[in-house]
């Protein structure tokens, strides 16, 4: 969903809010309603969204705003998607591992290693 060329690993709630066109308080509310949406928090306690989190926010927004689902209906629709084969979960884990390794490599390069 994100534009090509964006290489950030984490985004603030303000950045995600601007990307999806929803207020930050709406994103925080969706976190309480959708168990799949659990952005991590950094050391200072601020939410940090991954690309996967942002894709989920876009899916939730599409279900609620465009498809006119209720919260409960959107929750059920997302659950059906979550029942995909394990292979997709493994692919997601591999993507996350790759992102971590690329980030780690970049930090090592920056440090002069």
Looking at every residue in the chain, the average pLDDT score rounds to 86
DSSP calls for 84-113: S-HHHHHHHHHHHHHHHHHHHHHHHHHTT-
Confidence of residue 113 (pLDDT cuts 50, 70, 90): low
> Contact at 8 Å (CB) between 34 and 77?
no
In 3D space, the residue among 69, 49, 67 whose CA is nearest the CA of residue 2 turns out to be: 49
3-class secondary structure, 36: coil
List the Cα angle 104/110/113 in 5-degree steps. 80
CA distance 1 to 88: 18
- Work out whether the CA dihedral 11, 2, 58, 94 comes out positive or negative: negative
Instruction: Read off the pTM.
Output: 0.67
Q: What is the pLDDT of residues 45-80, one digit of tens each?
A: 999 999 999 999 999 999 999 999 999 999 998 888
CA distance 75 to 60: 9
- All structural domains of the chain, each given as residue ranges with its CATH number in brackets, are 13-82 (1.10.1660.10)
How many angstroms separate the most distant Cα atoms in the chain?
52
């Amino acid at each position: 969903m994100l534009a090509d060329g964006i290489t950030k690993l984490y985004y603030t709630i303000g950045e995600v809010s601007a990307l999806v066109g929803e207020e930050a308080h709406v994103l925080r509310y969706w976190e309480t309603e959708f168990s799949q949406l659990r952005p991590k928090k950094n050391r200072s306690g601020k939410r940090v969204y991954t690309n996967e989190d942002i894709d989920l926010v876009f899916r939730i927004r599409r279900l609620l705003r465009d498809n006119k689902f209720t919260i409960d209906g959107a929750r059920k629709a997302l659950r059906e998607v979550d029942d995909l084969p394990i292979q997709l979960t493994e692919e997601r884990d591999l993507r996350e591992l790759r992102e971590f390794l690329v980030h780690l490599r970049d930090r090592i390069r920056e440090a002069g290693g």
